[in-house]
Amino acid sequence: MERTEAELIAAVLAGDAASFEPLVQKYSPRVFATARRYARRESEIEDIAQEVWLKAFEKLNGFRGEAPFEHWLMRLTVRTCYDFLRGHQRNRELAFSDLTEPENDWLERFVAQPEAASENAEAARLLVERVLERLSPSARLIITLLEIEDHSVKDIAALTGWSVPLVKVRAFRARAEMRKILAKLPRDKYL
């Protein structure tokens, strides 16, 4: 008979580490999908997912069972991704010359006729990834959670551990930071 999540967690806490495996199997797709929002290389994504599960095992006695295990795990995942972003801050300058030809074409199409540039194009996806990579860790986290994943401010506060006013301030700054990066793109080309 299949054991429930609560039974599996209780068994792990009682010392049966093998009961942790079904939890890893069940929730790894969600952990990987979240990690892929913040890291590009598969090796980095695997490292994040591994770190999440090691932390989850270590901190499992802190899980009180008031909220579903998945919520608790997602909080841990988002915080691990944020730590990853802070530890891997790359060169954040984005010049027009860095863009590939399809990205340039898409941007030119957008400048000439905004409605003609489709958001479903692969170039748009790559361009937004590039722009997100140039954001500061907190700005990237906020833009991803708030604008792309459509979480509420309250949800983000719970996921990140930040207060609601801090989330609002950081969201405001993140949007401004993103606009600044985007405004710089065509200026590099046309001035």
Partner 1 sequence: MNVAELQKKLIAAARANPPGDNVPYAFEKRVMALLAARAAGDNLVLWVRGLWRAAVSCTAIALLLGAWAFFNPATSAVDLSQNFENTLLAAVDQSAQTQ
Which of the 8 DSSP states describes residue 115? G
* Interface pick for partner 1 out of 55, 75, 168, 175 (rule CB under 8 A): 175
- The dihedrals phi and psi of 102, each to the nearest 5 degrees, come to -60, -35
Q: How far is the CB of 32 from partner 1 (least distance, A)?
A: 5
Nearer to partner 1, 36 or 173 (CB): 36
* Interface pick for partner 1 out of 44, 110, 136, 137 (rule CB under 8 A): 110
Judge residue 101's burial from the number of C-beta atoms within 10 Å of its C-beta, 0-12 exposed, 13-18 middle, 19 or more buried.
exposed
User: Which range in 29-37, 61-69, 78-86, 160-168 contacts partner 1 by CB under 8 A?
Assistant: 29-37
Which of the 8 DSSP states describes residue 64? -
Judged by CB under 8 A, does residue 32 bind partner 1?
yes
User: Which range in 3-11, 60-68, 119-127, 163-171 contacts partner 1 by CB under 8 A?
Assistant: 119-127
Judged by CB under 8 A, does residue 54 bind partner 1?
yes
Amino acid at 12: V
Judged by CB under 8 A, does residue 143 bind partner 1?
yes
Judged by CB under 8 A, does residue 29 bind partner 1?
yes
Phi-psi region of 65 (alpha: psi -120 to 50; beta: other; left: phi over 0): left
Handedness of CA 95, 181, 105, 90 (dihedral sign): positive
**Structure tokens belonging to residue 136:** 């500061």
Judged by CB under 8 A, does residue 1 bind partner 1?
no
CA distance 189 to 12: 58
- The dihedrals phi and psi of 130, each to the nearest 5 degrees, come to -65, -45
What residues line the site for partner 1 (CB under 8 A)? 17-18, 20-21, 24-25, 28-30, 32-33, 36-37, 42, 46, 49-50, 53-54, 57, 110-111, 114, 117, 119-121, 124-125, 127-129, 131-132, 143, 147-148, 150, 175, 178-179, 182-183, 186
